[in-house]
Structure 1
């Protein structure tokens, strides 16, 4: 706003008053006393601020200011300066009655008396809120551009005249150093020598704007890629007076783009790629895709994606939704079953990627795919094996803190809980209190968290404190970086086996004791059989001697029997002689009787002879009887001796058999002792093995 001498106009002549009237009509004007109290305000000021004269007159100037500013030292300084007669000019922010902020281009003009003392202050103002906002917007935009882009100015010869910090950082300049260089110094020397560069700069000098991607060089000589706009700054006559360049350093982006292009080319080489329009019609496909599906490009271009699908897959709502989602720009990925030209099934790992235009609308679909048929078959086989394991084994999963994630029915039946009862609970619920408090249990989970596999036989506690024994493996599951993420446990119930092993151990202990006793008994039997064998040998010797003695006795008895027979024959002869003598004596007596007295003596002798003969006969008969009895007894003795000799023979034979039997018993006892020792050893080892297994 052009400066107006308001003080002179107010105190001057009629011409000056006309000037003041013109000012009053053209500008917002308000008067204050030296303390800042409002004395009057013109219509323009009242309309600008939204007040009536009655609402303002008598109020202090601070009513029109922000409270923070009105309480500040700078505000007090303003009025102190005005009271001293110092004029104040500038742009000021004030607040309207409705709270809006307005910016005023204003001058505070002290009105003085003839002595130079300040009487009042007249403020002349113009609303510059819109210009202020526009200037702030322009300044903000310029600041934003300078903060976001590298900016450099050149004179028409190409010498750098100014640059911001981003430009210096991009090129490697120290502050002020850039003014020693020209645009040519920022370009490849070979490019500077070309007609292309001469034409480029000539276009700029003529005022033409140029934008694009440019390869430039830093102070160190390194290549720098920029996305830049060159524009001429014109003078008041419309002629270019300097060139300004706004640029983004896209070196990294260019590198990424080159890398991305390389990756895309690598993907093209490594993967099957096909493009579709939004309706699913084939636009193009690479050789990998054509080889995978068995087609030529002419056979599929313009045809719908459904030619690669099973009939059942394209008839459902899911297939229609699939293409509708892609048409809306939604990404789809997964494993898909597709059909080759020859009808064979292939499985692909594929992503369907909507390609957007600059407005973010999808324009086509690009599909990247890899043949995973073999992997799918192996995966199905693996899944079948895992399912088989799940059906045959008790399976449970834990997180690394030991909390249950899930478990299969086999595990739940084994342990006796429902899934709802154990999910989120700690593994320790299945263990005995003593084991939970042990260092072994702490080490057990530390090793699992370190990714170490663990297997063995474990004692666990089921529902209602039921003792359970399991043969189990704890298997850490790793993520792609090799870090464990959870623990899977496979187990089977061996409680009955452990109970049987316990019973076997107890029985083995008992058998061990019995076997020890048996060994002791066998040792005693062996000692007894050795003694019996010795006695048997002695008995055999005695029996053989008895048999020999009996043989001699029988021979003597047989001799006695023969002698007795001879004596019996003699006695018989004596008996016959006695009989004949008796007969002769009898006849003699008869003859003596006939002889009378002459035969008395002979008769006596004959009687005596007769008596002697009778006694001899009686004695002979007694001897004969005794000899007969003796013969009978000798015969019986002979028979008994023969029987005794036979018995002794049998005894000798029996003793020989007994001896052989005892020797056999001794050998068997020795073998039995060895076998018993082996059995005791086997039982001990079985018991030890069972204890180790437990």
Structure 2
């Protein structure tokens, strides 16, 4: 059985009143506009007009597309939209529309077809709310969320700790795929020791209560990889204020954590190896480590609160330099140097230190940390070494080259010796000091190649000054090596020995001239010996002829003539020997002068020169005696010749004279032996002269650089002495031939 409730006129009136009241309420609260089924505007309320910025007369009769962008109005989607509404279909959503003057607005709206009594749609009523501000707020929020999602690792958990979701950044940091962790518990990222601790249980209890947590956490990635994350655990609340999940935002700070650990390790290492002290900006001591206290001999309680000046001399504390140091540090400026300081016991020490301002979060310095090393021993050694270097620099010529041979610098002694200014040679090659022929040679290339290999060179070198003068130097070329053992420059220490070399050359020339004189004397003596031997033979023949009788007197007379001629020849040779002795005397005199110029180094040579001069004098005396004997021979032979021509009866007298001539020749032979002995003494004196020359050379060679003696000059002197020895031996052989 059905029941029909019929509406009374009174009921209809009440329903109409309710509908009117409802429409009035909607009209007051919402934007409302009506369209025909084609989309043309029939009516709009004040709320809608205010929303789009139009008056009613500006929109009435126009099409809905006036509120859309041209692109949307011409799209298939828009045509379908109105086709759907024309068929009576409902539509709702958030719509982007365009107000007056092109202003973009967003509407939360419903498009409602209205039907007639036959159920056919005849118009569309749109109810809308302006959500532009909300849309912008949501867009900003979504942008922020997207930015966080791009920049941070994000993972979501339920309140039990099970993984709900995670973004790509988080998965990348931990090394997992989403399907490998979704539904798994947070404990999969933690160490076993931490999982079993009360701290871990308290951590999740805190999050369940809706409490926030943040910090740096040690976590375990896939395959057991250890990492550190800086994270916040953020409970998310429902509308009733109850937490229902936890969102974690995280950044991988493993590298920075490692750097922090490394920095902490470095600080610890510095703390162990260096003296460290802290000051406030006024210079008062805040703290000091054990190393610092050990270096300065204090206990910590003796220096905390005291001023830095307690470590300095009174003179330095009262200086402008000291005030400027602390003003500089107060401005946040760094200072580093070697500083002279004072221990508790008053002993002076040197420290290599840095004063380092420490800055607060605003970039303002608030304290000074000083790192220091005790370099007292090294400083004293350095001062000593520097003194030695300065002494070398004052005493010797010093020049530095790079490995290519280009000049880096040179001291005043070197510049004075070669006649240059520093700017004239700096950057130029070593070859400017050498002769062109030497520079083009193989020896010069090998010289610099050897230096490039780190080889050391020492010796005598001939160089050319700015003005083309030949300069002799005793020098060492010393490669300097870097920390890797590779040569990076060459330092040359040199002494100008030009005067000594010239003196050696002069002595050598005098010695050579004396040798030539001795050689000439030996040749003359050899000739005298030969002539004497001939005269002796003639005398013997004369005696034989005289004893044979008068028949040989004529031959004896002829022989006496030949003896006279030989005696005259011997007299000429004696004259030559006399001249040679005179020249030897002159050479010895000149040598004495040179020895006097050489001073102490030539004293030994002067003695030898005096002996040579004495021997030359004795040679002259002997030759004068021989000359007198030859004169007697000439007189005797003349008388013998005269006697033989007068009478044969005087044969016995002639024989006697012949015997006298033989005796005279015997005396001549004896005199020649004496000359031989004198020449032997000359040879011995020459050997002594060589020894003196070696002594002079040795004295000259003692002027050398501080590190190496040169062997070159000694070798040359040895060679010269060897030559003199050979000459003396040859002279001895010649003298041995003078036996009658």
Query: What residue is the counterpart of 1:386 in the other structure?
Result: 389
Query: What residue is the counterpart of 1:318 in the other structure?
Result: 321
Query: What residue is the counterpart of 2:44 in the other structure?
Result: 18
Query: What residue is the counterpart of 1:362 in the other structure?
Result: 365
Query: What residue is the counterpart of 1:8 in the other structure?
Result: 35
Query: What residue is the counterpart of 2:356 in the other structure?
Result: 353
What is the CA-CA distance between 1:4 and the residue it aligns to?
A: 8.5
CA contact (8 A) 1:274 1:289 kept: yes
What is the CA-CA distance between 1:296 and the residue it aligns to?
A: 2.3
Query: What residue is the counterpart of 1:177 in the other structure?
Result: 180
Query: What residue is the counterpart of 2:293 in the other structure?
Result: 290
What is the CA-CA distance between 1:306 and the residue it aligns to?
A: 0.5
Alignment of 1:60-79 (within 5 A): 79=74
Alignment of 1:97-246 (within 5 A): 105=106, 132=136, 142=145, 145-174=148-177, 176-179=179-182, 181-246=184-249
- 1:306 aligns to 2:309 (yes or no): yes
CA contact (8 A) 2:398 2:492 kept: yes
| Structure 1 stretch displaced more, 462-471 or 233-242 | 462-471
Residues 86 and 282 of structure 1: CA distance in aligned 2, closer, same or farther (over 3 Å):
same
CA contact (8 A) 2:275 2:371 kept: yes
Q: Find the aligned partners of 1:377 and 1:149 in 2 and give their Cα distance.
A: 59
Residues 667 and 8 of structure 1: CA distance in aligned 2, closer, same or farther (over 3 Å):
same
What is the CA-CA distance between 1:108 and the residue it aligns to?
A: 14
SS state at 2:384 partner: helix
Alignment of 1:458-497 (within 5 A): 462-463=465-466, 468=471, 470-482=473-485, 486-496=489-499
Scaled by the length of structure 1, the TM-score of the pair is 0.63
Query: What residue is the counterpart of 2:279 in the other structure?
Result: 276
- 1:659 aligns to 2:686 (yes or no): no
Residues 399 and 7 of structure 1: CA distance in aligned 2, closer, same or farther (over 3 Å):
farther
Residues 212 and 441 of structure 1: CA distance in aligned 2, closer, same or farther (over 3 Å):
farther
Scaled by the length of structure 2, the TM-score of the pair is 0.59
- 1:531 aligns to 2:530 (yes or no): yes
What is the CA-CA distance between 1:211 and the residue it aligns to?
A: 1.5
Q: Find the aligned partners of 1:543 and 1:310 in 2 and give their Cα distance.
A: 112
CA contact (8 A) 1:273 1:369 kept: yes
Q: Find the aligned partners of 2:389 and 2:221 in 1 and give their Cα distance.
A: 61
Q: Find the aligned partners of 2:532 and 2:288 in 1 and give their Cα distance.
A: 105
List per-residue Cα deviations over 1:273-327 (Å, max 9, x = no partner).
2222221112222232222222222322221110110111111222112112222
List per-residue Cα deviations over 1:35-88 (Å, max 9, x = no partner).
xxx99999xx9xxxxxxxxxxxxxxx8xxxxxxxxxxxxx97985658967789
What is the CA-CA distance between 1:336 and the residue it aligns to?
A: 0.4
List per-residue Cα deviations over 1:630-668 (Å, max 9, x = no partner).
xxxxxxx9x999987876665554443333444555677
What is the CA-CA distance between 1:260 and the residue it aligns to?
A: 3.5
Query: What residue is the counterpart of 2:522 in the other structure?
Result: 522
Q: Find the aligned partners of 2:105 and 2:411 in 1 and give their Cα distance.
A: 80
Q: Find the aligned partners of 1:413 and 1:305 in 2 and give their Cα distance.
A: 49
Determine which of 407, 410, 434 is the counterpart of 2:410: 407
Runs (5+) with no aligned partner, structure 1:
32-37, 46-60, 62-74, 110-123, 551-636
- 1:263 aligns to 2:273 (yes or no): no
What is the CA-CA distance between 1:188 and the residue it aligns to?
A: 1.1
Query: What residue is the counterpart of 1:395 in the other structure?
Result: 398
Q: Find the aligned partners of 2:326 and 2:385 in 1 and give their Cα distance.
A: 32
Alignment of 1:502-513 (within 5 A): 507=509, 511=512
Q: Find the aligned partners of 1:686 and 1:204 in 2 and give their Cα distance.
A: 95
Runs (5+) with no aligned partner, structure 2:
1-28, 57-62, 83-92, 111-127, 550-646, 695-711, 721-740
Query: What residue is the counterpart of 2:118 in the other structure?
Result: none
Residues 342 and 17 of structure 1: CA distance in aligned 2, closer, same or farther (over 3 Å):
same
List per-residue Cα deviations over 1:517-575 (Å, max 9, x = no partner).
9658736743x45535644654675687799999xxxxxxxxxxxxxxxxxxxxxxxxx
What is the CA-CA distance between 1:378 and the residue it aligns to?
A: 0.8
Q: Find the aligned partners of 1:136 and 1:350 in 2 and give their Cα distance.
A: 58
Residues 304 and 677 of structure 1: CA distance in aligned 2, closer, same or farther (over 3 Å):
closer
Residues 396 and 530 of structure 1: CA distance in aligned 2, closer, same or farther (over 3 Å):
closer
Q: Find the aligned partners of 2:301 and 2:714 in 1 and give their Cα distance.
A: 79
CA contact (8 A) 1:543 1:652 kept: no
What is the CA-CA distance between 1:185 and the residue it aligns to?
A: 1.1
What is the CA-CA distance between 1:268 and the residue it aligns to?
A: 2.7
